[in-house]
Amino acid sequence: MAVTISVEPDAVSNASAWTVTSTNSGETNFRIKAELIIAAATVAVKWQPAGTLSWDFKNILWELITYTTIDFDSLNIQTTNTDSYKSYTVKFTEYWEDADNALVTGDDDTSSAKVMYKVDCTTFADYNLSADDEEFLTERPSSNKIKIGDNLVTGWTNWSGDNAYDTFTSSNRHISSAIDSSASNFGICYTNGIGTLAIGDVIEFYCDFTKNSGSLPSISLIEKPGGGTALSNSETLADGLNYVKLTATSAIVDTRIKILSSESNEVDFSMIKVYTSRDYNELDYLGFLTEEASLRIDYIRYDVDDSSLGASTLSTTSIVGDRGISPVSAILFSHASTQVEKIILKMETATPADRSKDLTFVRNSVCWNNPVRIEWLNKFGAFDAYTFLDNYDEDRSGKRSTYKDTNDVEQILDIENYQTIKAYSDYETKTNIDWIKTILDSKKVYWIVDNVRIEVVVTGISQVKKQKDRVKLALSFRKLI
C-alpha cells in the first residue's frame, strides 16, 4: 500500500501524534490529507506537503473533551464517564498532480480506533491500561475523612387491611415480607415515627432492597398510620442499593415512611431496615480507569471497634471507553445492626481478583460550622473533593468600568461584584496538605452549595496554624454575584 502509518499513539493515550510514509511522495505537488473522524463524522482536516508528513491532533481533541459530573440527587452506584474521553480514528489520503496538472487521488489508510483522555499527568503510562492494573483517578491520600450524618434506624409495622398482604416477619434488623395486593386492596408497611417535618423538609432514605417476586413497590412520606395519603413525592424502589430523596409537600407532625404495593399482584421483598438521615451528608465521586469490559467495586465495612462487618459489592456495570465514576456516600455506610465507622474500597474483577490499591473513608464526627465543600478537577481528568469545616470569612468586592460622555461626565459602563470567601481546613497531615494544595493547579474548581456546583476562582492557599506535625490551611476564592 502506498500510504503507511509509521507513528501513531497508543490505543489509549493523552497524545495524538502521527507520521505517515508514502511511496508516491516524489510525485508533483504531492500532499496528504488527514481527517479526524469521530462517530463517523469528519470534525477536522489537516493537509501536509511531502517532507513533513506529521500531524498532532491533541489540541483539537482536547477542545472537544469535557468532564463528567454527577447529579447529586441520582443514585449511580457505578456509571460510565462518557464525557472525559473521545474515541476517534484518523484517515490519511494521498493526492498529487499528473503531467497534465490533473488531480490524482491515490491510496488511503484509516487507523484503528483510538481513545483520547484529557489528562495532565506527564507520563500517561502511569495510568495506562495493562493486563492486571486498574486505578482510581485521584491524588487523594489512601485514608480520607467523609461527613456522614448519624443514621436513625427505623422500626417497621404492618398495616394490613382486608388481607392486603401476607405474613410479615423480621429478624434482627432485616425485613422479610410478602405484600399480597389485589385490584381493590393495596399492601402497605410503614416505619415508626421520624419526627416533625415542615413543607420543603427533606428526608434521605437509604436501604438495600431485594425483590424476590412481583413488581417493585413505591416509597413516600405519610402522616402517622391510618392516613395513607402521600405527603411527599413518591419514588419507586429498585433492586439493590437505594438512595431516595423525599421532600415533604405538607407539614407532617408524625412522619412515617411508607412502602406501598398498589398493583394486583404479590410483591415478595426483603431489605435491611431503612436508615434515614436529616444531617449533612457528603458525596465523594471516584473516577477510575480499567481495561475490563465489566468491573465491580468491593467495599468492606468496619464498626467503631474496627471490627469487620463484612464485604459487599457494588453492582457490576459495563464500562464504556474504559472509564467510570463511582460515588462514595451514606448508602455505603448502612448496616443491618450497627453504625459503620469506616469503609475500604477496591476494584475487582468478577473472578474476583484485586485490581487496584485500597482507598479508605472514615466517618468524620467533627461538629462543623458552615462547612465549605470544594470539588476540583485533578490532573487525571476526574474530580476530587474536600470539606473546609470551620466558619468561613466572607467579603464583597467589585470593580466598575467607566467612560466620559459628550459632556465630559463620567458614566458607569459595567459593574462586576464578587463574593470573596476564605475557608479553613481541619488540622491535616503533610500528605493531606499536599493533596489539598493541588486545588491550585486545577482548571475547574466548584463550591458545592445546597447540592449545586458553583464555579469559583481560587486566589490562594496559605498556612494559618500549626499543631505539632499537623497544619491548618486557609483557602481563598471568589465568585461573581
Q: Tell me, what CATH number does 91's domain have?
A: 2.60.40
Pair 53, 163 in one domain: no
Pair 225, 164 in one domain: yes
Q: Is pLDDT at 130 greater than 50 in this prediction?
A: no
pLDDT band at residue 271 using 50, 70 and 90 as cut-offs: low
CATH code: domain of residue 457: 2.40.30
Pair 163, 110 in one domain: no
Output helix, strand, coil percentages for the chain, rounded to the nearest 5.
5, 50, 40
Q: What is the pLDDT of residue 101?
A: 93
- Asked whether residue 198 is domain-assigned, the answer is yes
pLDDT per position as a tens digit, 163-216: 333 333 334 333 444 444 444 455 667 777 777 888 988 887 777 677 766 677
| CB of 254 closer than 8 Å to CB of 193 | yes
What average pLDDT does this structure show over 266-290? 67
Pair 192, 110 in one domain: no
- Higher-confidence position of 72 and 48: 48
Consecutive H or E run containing 376: strand 372-377
Going by C-alpha positions, the residue among 94, 91, 90, 89 that lies closest to residue 2 is: 94
pLDDT per position as a tens digit, 31-57: 999 999 999 999 999 999 877 789 999
pLDDT per position as a tens digit, 429-463: 999 999 999 999 998 999 988 778 899 999 999 99
- Asked whether residue 261 is domain-assigned, the answer is yes
Q: Which of 62, 97, 118 is the last residue of a domain?
A: 118
Peptide bond into 371 cis (omega under 30): no
β-pair type (143-146, 457-467): unpaired
| CB of 288 closer than 8 Å to CB of 326 | yes
Q: Which of 277, 297, 327 is the last residue of a domain?
A: 277
- Asked whether residue 318 is domain-assigned, the answer is no
- Asked whether residue 107 is domain-assigned, the answer is yes
CATH code: domain of residue 191: 2.60.120.260
- Asked whether residue 230 is domain-assigned, the answer is yes
Q: How many CB atoms lie within 10 A of CB 441?
A: 13
| CB of 361 closer than 8 Å to CB of 326 | no
Among 8-12, 125-129, 326-330, 367-371, where is mean pLDDT lowest? 125-129
Pair 61, 177 in one domain: no
Going by C-alpha positions, the residue among 111, 115, 144, 109 that lies closest to residue 127 is: 115
Question: What whole-number percentage of the chain has pLDDT above 90?
Answer: 28
Domain that includes residue 228, residue range: 152-277
What average pLDDT does this structure show over 384-397? 85
What is the C-alpha to C-alpha distance for residues 388 and 377, in angstroms, rounded to an integer? 17
Q: Which residue has the cell 487523594?
A: 140
Pair 239, 174 in one domain: yes
What is the C-alpha to C-alpha distance for residues 286 and 265, in angstroms, rounded to an integer? 40
Q: Which three cell numbers stand for residue 410?
A: 463620567
- Asked whether residue 407 is domain-assigned, the answer is yes
Pair 27, 94 in one domain: yes
- Asked whether residue 252 is domain-assigned, the answer is yes
Structural domains counted in the chain: 3
- Asked whether residue 288 is domain-assigned, the answer is no
Pair 468, 411 in one domain: yes
Q: What is the pLDDT of residue 179?
A: 44
Q: Which three cell numbers stand for residue 135?
A: 486505578
